[in-house]
């Protein structure tokens, strides 16, 4: 009998954990919170990507030009990478290509592994009541040694309308749905901002949560 104890079983004879057969691929087994502070939570399978995450912060400001998106300054400028005053040339992400060197010299976040954007959370503010400004989270996919200009892809646009409190009136941003959420290793994620009235000033401070399946 002793040889049949679970601790003595070889791998082929060990059964899978409860719920394994019906669990979705790319999930992990965990234990729920339970109730009353006791250790009575039940076993459950959750997506691997919901616990394997990283968070990156994006901050900046812009004196908007009233029509087109503006991207970050290059590192050689004293206000880089926060000030956004490099004219993209369009109010629509993807309408104009961007020089590879300008993108690289302006920073952004280089994706370390294939992943997806899971959540955007943070704050934005505008100094002018009833005017609007829009923050765009974008990505490009550089190719090793290729100098061809890159077309940015929109991850998400977020628009606020300025309040009477001016820059003190922070407005919360929370997004979990995206125009494009899939990212590949080496992609560069960056921000651009635009406003509907020239001379207005906008600030933002947001985080992006990236989730990984592998």
Residues 6+ apart with CB under 8 A from 141: 150, 153, 184, 186, 187, 188
- The model scores a pTM over 0.85: no
CB 202 within 8 A of CB 60: no
Domains of the chain and any CATH numbers:
2-47 (no CATH), 53-211 (2.60.120)
pLDDT tens digit sequence for 153-212: 999 999 999 999 999 999 999 999 999 999 999 999 999 999 999 999 999 999 999 988
Helix (H) or strand (E) holding 101: helix 100-105
For 32, 66, 114, 135, the CA distances from 200, given in Å and listed in that order, are 48, 8, 37, 14
Using pLDDT thresholds of 50, 70 and 90, give the confidence band for residue 33.
confident
DSSP class of residue 83 equals: B
pLDDT at position 31 over 80: no
Find the Cα–Cα–Cα–Cα dihedral 84, 179, 175, 65, rounded to 10°.
20
Using pLDDT thresholds of 50, 70 and 90, give the confidence band for residue 28.
low
Find the Cα–Cα–Cα–Cα dihedral 111, 58, 178, 113, rounded to 10°.
10
pLDDT of residue 71: 95
Tell me the CA end-to-end span of the chain in Å, nearest whole number. 41
The mean pLDDT value of the chain amounts to 88
| % helix, strand, coil for the chain, step of 5 | 10, 40, 50
Using pLDDT thresholds of 50, 70 and 90, give the confidence band for residue 104.
confident
């Amino acid at each position: 009998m002793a040889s049949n104890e679970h601790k003595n079983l070889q791998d082929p004879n060990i059964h899978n954990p409860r719920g394994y057969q019906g669990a979705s691929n790319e999930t992990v087994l965990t234990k729920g919170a339970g109730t009353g502070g006791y250790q009575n939570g039940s076993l459950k399978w959750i997506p691997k990507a919901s616990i394997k995450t990283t968070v990156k912060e994006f901050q900046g400001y812009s004196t908007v030009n009233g029509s087109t998106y503006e991207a970050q300054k290059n590192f050689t400028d004293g206000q880089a990478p926060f000030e956004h005053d490099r004219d993209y040339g369009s109010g629509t992400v993807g309408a104009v290509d961007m020089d590879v060197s300008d993108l690289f010299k302006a920073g952004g976040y280089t994706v370390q592994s294939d992943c997806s954007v899971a959540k955007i959370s943070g704050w934005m503010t505008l100094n002018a009541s009833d005017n609007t400004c829009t923050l765009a989270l974008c990505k490009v996919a550089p190719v090793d040694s290729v100098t061809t200009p890159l077309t940015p892809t929109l991850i998400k646009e977020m628009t606020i309308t300025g309040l009477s409190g001016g820059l003190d009136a922070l407005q919360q941003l929370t997004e979990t749905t995206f125009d494009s959420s899939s990212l590949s290793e080496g992609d560069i994620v960056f921000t651009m901002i635009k406003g509907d009235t020239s001379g207005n000033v906008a600030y933002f401070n947001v985080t992006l949560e990236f989730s990984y399946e592998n």
